[in-house]
Structure 1
């Protein structure tokens, strides 16, 4: 499974945290959620933590699955 990358965060003066992925806004955390996020970032893998909190984490196999012959249309469902 590929490791997530390209995530950054910025802590603002009002206590909020802005999460970005490859330069684009991915989420804003405020209050207790921001505090919990910052504590988790300090104790773990920062890229993985940010990927989980934004919900932007992908496993890398979506393109392969989309291009698989069974997913190219035709009949749907299993018989």
Structure 2
């Protein structure tokens, strides 16, 4: 696993996922949907998730799949008030 989570953010289990009947994976970050994965990519991810040894490895997989989706344009509602 190595030294990948220096700030221990993945320990909070910030990512969750749901699997539909047709094996589409919906990935949420703090309850907000951030990524949908279908087809062969979903099959590969499901295989890796089932082979993961613990929840932290699953969090790492989900973080890698979502990529760097936060680019600074996520403003809180109070910013616009």
| Range of TM-score over shorter length | 0.5 to 0.7
Aligned to 2:42: 34
Report how many aligned residue pairs link the two structures. 58
Higher Rg = 1
Map 1:1-79 to 2 at 5 A: 1-3=6-8, 4=10, 5-44=13-52, 45-56=57-68
- Segments of structure 1 that go 5 or more residues without pairing to the other structure are 59-79
Q: State the TM-score, normalized to the length of structure 2.
A: 0.63
State the Cα RMSD in Å: 1.9
Q: State the TM-score, normalized to the length of structure 1.
A: 0.65
Mapped contact 1:51–1:57 kept (Cα < 8 A): no
- Segments of structure 2 that go 5 or more residues without pairing to the other structure are 1-5, 71-81
Summarize deviations over 1:41-66 as a string: whole Å, max 9, x none.
122211111000001489xxxxxxxx
